[in-house]
Amino acid sequence: MLNKGKASHHQFDGWSLEERNPDAIKSWMPIWEWFYRYYFRVETDGWHHMPQSGKMLIVGSHNGGLASPDTSMFMYDWFRRFGYDRLIYGLMHPAAWKSPIFAIPGSMVGAVIAHPKMAIAALQRDASVLVYPGGAEDLFRPYYMRDRIHFAGRKGFIKLALREEVPIVPIISYGAHDTLIVLADFYDQVRQVHEWGFPWKLDLDTGVFPIYLGLPWGLGIGPLPNFPLPIQIHTRVCAPIVFERYGRDAALCRDYVNDCYEKVCFHMQLELDSLILSVRASS
151-161 tens-digit pLDDT? 999 999 999 99
Structural domain count, the chain: 1
Does 144 fall in a domain?
Answer: yes
| Residue 13 counted as domain residue | yes
Model confidence pLDDT, tens digit, residues 55-109: 999 999 999 999 999 999 999 999 999 999 999 999 999 988 988 888 999 999 9
- For residue 133, being part of any structural domain is answered with yes
Residue 193 is assigned to a structural domain of this protein: no
- State pTM to two decimals: 0.92
Q: Does 168 map to a domain?
A: yes
**Residue range(s) defining the domain that contains residue 117:** 4-181+231-276
With respect to residue 202, please indicate whether it lies within any of the assigned structural domains.
no
What pLDDT is recorded for position 207? 85
Can you give the CATH number for the domain in which 245 is found? 3.40.1130
Query: Any idea what the Cα angle at residue 90 is, between residues 33 and 4, rounded to 5°?
Result: 125
AA identity, residue 100: P
pLDDT of residue 250: 97
Question: CA–CA separation, 28 vs 41, rounded Å?
Answer: 18
Residue 198 counted as domain residue: no
Peptide bond between residue 216 and the one before it cis (omega within 30 degrees of 0): yes
pLDDT tens for residues 127-174? 999 999 999 999 999 999 999 999 999 999 999 999 999 999 999 999
pLDDT over threshold 70, residue 112: yes
Per-residue confidence (pLDDT) for residue 199, from 0 to 100: 64
The answer as to whether 215 is a domain residue is: no
